[in-house]
Structure 1
Amino acid sequence: MVNFHDPDVIQKDFAFSTHFMHFSDGIYLWEFLTTLRFGWEFITGKRQFKWTFLLYATTRICALGAVITSFVGFNVTHSINCQQWIVWHLIIVYTSLASASVLISLRVIAVWNRNLIVIALTFGMALVNMGFLIYGIATVRSEWSTTSDTCLLENTYKSRDNITVTVSTDIAQLIVMMIGLWRCRRTMTASGIAQYLYVQGLIWLVVATLAEIPSAVFINLNLNGKDIHRANCFSVA
């Protein structure tokens, strides 16, 4: 059986996390650059401006900022103020997540034709999610390690709460949206339903939600860390 507390195993896990993060960041940079025209059309007036575009832009720009700060954290070769770095990194990341959560809530509300119960439910979940994200920023602790030449997070297991809540609220909103779309099934053909699901963004919400599940699973398993000991901050990113 693999000893996940073995230094060699932790080092291999860290190397894999580094390569995977670079790969993921590269995909986002490609996606960001290839879809710039959509945002530019709002800025230049080719598309009708809506206030929700501000949420969309916040999500995109903060996600880009998260990619940039993660590149810094993964490739720095000298000692840095790890506490400041991780706090600002999480602020950018969680701002993007919070904005995306509100956008999902608005989509769910639109599917349900502004049902008051659904409005209260979805925004309630979004607020709970934001509260846990703020808690995660307030409690994070990190410092530079001279032995591994990287930033170390103290007790990464504490982050399980805000990550689990984020995944849970996204899944809950996905279910609410699916129920709302299911109510419209009788008025459409099979091809019409598929097109409607695509337009309403359900497919992309499913993909985004599924992508969150592995991080929630691994941080709850806490393979490399211990309850009160340090773990490499990038091993659970």
Structure 2
Amino acid sequence: MNVGRNRCDNRCVAYKYALDSVPSIHTSLNMPDWDSPAETVRDNVYLTTTLHVCCGCAIWEYITQLRYEWDVFRGSGQYRWTIWVYSNCRLSMLISLLLSIATAEGWSKNHCTALYATAMAISYVSIGLASLLIVLRVVAVWDKRLCIVITSYIIWLSGAVLNFRGRPDGFSIHANSMHLSDVTLLRASYNATLGACTPYNTSKFLPNSWRQRLVSSVSSTARELYG
């Protein structure tokens, strides 16, 4: 009995020590000051680097696959109307990344709003066309079954409508993003500290709610499961 009690006491002491050490672990992990100028500059450097990497991958992909499009357009390859969706998706993605780099690098100090809004609008076009390519693949994989065709296009059209306008209460298809129609509300200015175009008053057009994440996850999962 004494041995068992001693083991229990030792175990309780170990648990108590572990619980007491938890606050010290959390307090040692100090969160950065997100509003400090140094942190803002560092975040902007990371963002710009990521954009350059993504744009480099997009340029490489566009150049390596350009031969296929060229063969189709000059008549040596088999023509399908989906080539227009494919080509415009790749081109809009590349243009949106290039414009995003232009805003991050501050290439235009006097036209930041126009540059930023154009980059956002074209990125929405790229997302919509990419989603349509997924739908077309789903339809092809399922051998154009009527129920699959109807369901796939309903999902895509619902996503396109919500992505374009959404609902007045901030119901959006993409989490932490604006509606396409809200691009007209976007305002940006040149930030001399960052050397980049940055938007301001984003709380007016950047909705952020759990409903956005729910709808975005359900829509994306549905398209992937069908494929």
Do both share a fold (TM > 0.5)? yes
Any gaps of 5 or more consecutive residues in structure 1? Answer: 178-237
Q: Distance in 1 between matches of 2:42 and 2:206?
A: 20
Give the aligned partner of residue 139 of structure 2.
Answer: 109
For 1:171, the aligned partner's letter is T
Structural mapping, 1:80-95, within 5 Å: 80-95=110-125
How far apart, in 1, do the equivalents of 2:98 and 2:149 lie? Answer: 35
CA separation in 1, counterparts of 2:220 and 2:63?
A: 26
Alignment of 1:171 onto 2:221: yes
Structure 2 partner of 1:158: 207
8 Å CA contact 1:98, 1:130 repeated in 2: yes
RCO higher in structure (CA 8 A, sep ≥6): 1
- Match of 1:42? 72
Question: Within 5 A, what are the aligned runs for 1:1-237?
Answer: 1-3=30-32, 5-7=34-36, 8-77=38-107, 79-135=109-165, 136-140=179-183, 141-148=186-193, 149-153=195-199, 154-155=202-203, 157-158=206-207, 165=215, 168-177=218-227
Which has the higher mean CA deviation after the structures are superposed, 125-134 or 44-53?
Answer: 125-134
Provide the C-alpha distance between the structure 2 equivalents of 1:11 and 1:164, rounded to a whole number of angstroms: 32
Q: 1:91 to 1:167 in 2, by over 3 A?
A: farther
SS at match of 1:19: helix
User: Aligned pair count?
Assistant: 177
Counterparts of 1:116 and 1:24 in 2: how far apart (Å)?
Answer: 37
Contact kept, 8 Å, 1:63 with 1:92, in 2: the verdict is: yes
Structure 1 stretches of 4+ moved >6 Å: 159-164
What TM-score results when the alignment is normalised by the length of structure 2?
A: 0.68
Distance 2:208 2:123 in 1: 14
TM-fit CA distance, 1:143: 1.7
Matched-pair contact (CA < 8 Å) for 2:100–2:116: no
CA deviations 1:12-52 (Å, max 9, x no partner) are 11111111111111111111111111111101111111101
Unpaired runs of at least 5, structure 2: 1-29, 166-178
Q: Identify the range of structure 1 (108-117 vs 147-156) with the bigger mean alpha-carbon deviation.
A: 147-156
CA distance in 2, matches of 1:168, 1:83: 33
Contact 2:103/2:198 (<8 A) preserved: no
Cα gap change, 1:55/1:163 in structure 2, threshold over 3 Å: closer, same or farther?
A: farther
| CA RMSD after TM alignment | 2.5
- Retained in 2: the 8 A contact 1:143–1:151? yes
- Change in CA separation of 1:167 and 1:96 when aligned onto 2, cut-off 3 Å: farther
Q: Measure, in 2, the Cα distance between the counterparts of 1:159 and 1:62.
A: 26
Aligned residues of 2:112 and 2:190 also touching (Cα < 8 A): no
Q: Which has the larger radius of gyration?
A: 2
Distance in 1 between residues matched to 2:214 and 2:52, nearest whole Å: 24
Residue equivalent to 2:24 = none
Q: 1:20 to 1:164 in 2, by over 3 A?
A: farther
Alpha-carbon separation, structure 2, partners of 1:23 and 1:163: 26
TM-score, structure 1 normalization:
0.66
One-letter code aligned to 1:102: L
Q: Is the 8 A contact 1:4 1:10 kept in 2?
A: no
Which string of whole-angstrom CA distances, capped at 9 and with x for unpartnered residues, describes residues 134-168 of structure 1? 23122242220445343223137427777875564
